[in-house]
Amino acid sequence: MHPLEALEMQVSQCRRCDLRDQAHGVVFGEGALDSHIVFCGEGPGAEEDRLLRPFVGAAGHLLDKMLDAMGFSRGKNAYILNVVKCRPPGNRVPLPQELAACRPHLAAQLSILSPRIMVLLGSTAIQSFLGPQARVTRVHGQWTEHQGIWLMPTYHPAALLRNPSWKVEAWSDLKKVIDKYRELVDPDHFSTHYPLKISDKNLPPGTIKPQCR
């Protein structure tokens, strides 16, 4: 059994806070177990709690489209998780004690996955790593490093559904993520919406470079 699957069995028994009492179950996370990139949200909503899968409601649908545009998918090369694993009642923001109770589970997931990059989706994920003062509107698009993981804060897909005009800034954050992924993980990483510049590639001298963006 993969260590992440063993951890999931353990976390599914968790009673470290009261969220589990009202939730249908634990939404551990999902994706490719050898992912070098993780996308981190706040916590499960109603649909996620029903299906016990992260980001499967309206925000999840948009997240999947964002991943697709970047050349990622949860089945292939990305892992999706949340800072809290059980649905807060009525989708309220998780309380500090709930975040603290769930933190060891998140830390254990990251220690097993050992990603190079983590995209922090929205305030709760951002503040969990950058501190309570961090505001998405101020910090989005700026890299920081945390225990060997490059963190990119950006807008939560639910916020993008409410404010579609933020999508322009979000896409510019996500292009930085693609650049970093090409730098750290796969120089040939393919994205339909952000093709590799031919000048990024070491072509043999004399090669005629086609225009691609």
Residues within the interface to ligand URA (CB under 6 A) = 41-45, 48, 54-55, 57, 59-60, 82, 158
d(CA 45, CA 24): 11
Instruction: Give the residue with the Cβ less far from ligand URA, 36 or 156.
Output: 156
Instruction: Give the residue with the Cβ less far from ligand URA, 71 or 157.
Output: 157
In whole angstroms, how close is the CB of 41 to ligand URA at the nearest point? Answer: 3
d(CA 93, CA 186): 36
Q: Please report, to the nearest 10 degrees, the dihedral formed by the alpha carbons of residues 162, 168, 174, 175 taken in order.
A: 170
Q: What b/e string do you get for 116-132 counting C-beta neighbours within 10 Å, with b at 16 or more?
A: bbbbbbbbbbbbbbbee
Q: Which residue is nearest to ligand URA (CB)?
A: 41
In whole angstroms, how close is the CB of 55 to ligand URA at the nearest point? Answer: 4
**CB half-sphere exposure, 129, CA atoms < 13 A:** 31
Helix (H) / strand (E) containing 120: strand 117-121
Instruction: Give the residue with the Cβ less far from ligand URA, 137 or 211.
Output: 137
Instruction: Give the residue with the Cβ less far from ligand URA, 55 or 129.
Output: 55
Instruction: Give the residue with the Cβ less far from ligand URA, 70 or 125.
Output: 125
Q: Which residues contact 162 (CB under 8 A, 6 or more apart)?
A: none
Instruction: Give the residue with the Cβ less far from ligand URA, 85 or 182.
Output: 85
- The secondary structure of 34-50 as a DSSP string is T-SEEEEES---HHHHH
d(CA 76, CA 71): 10
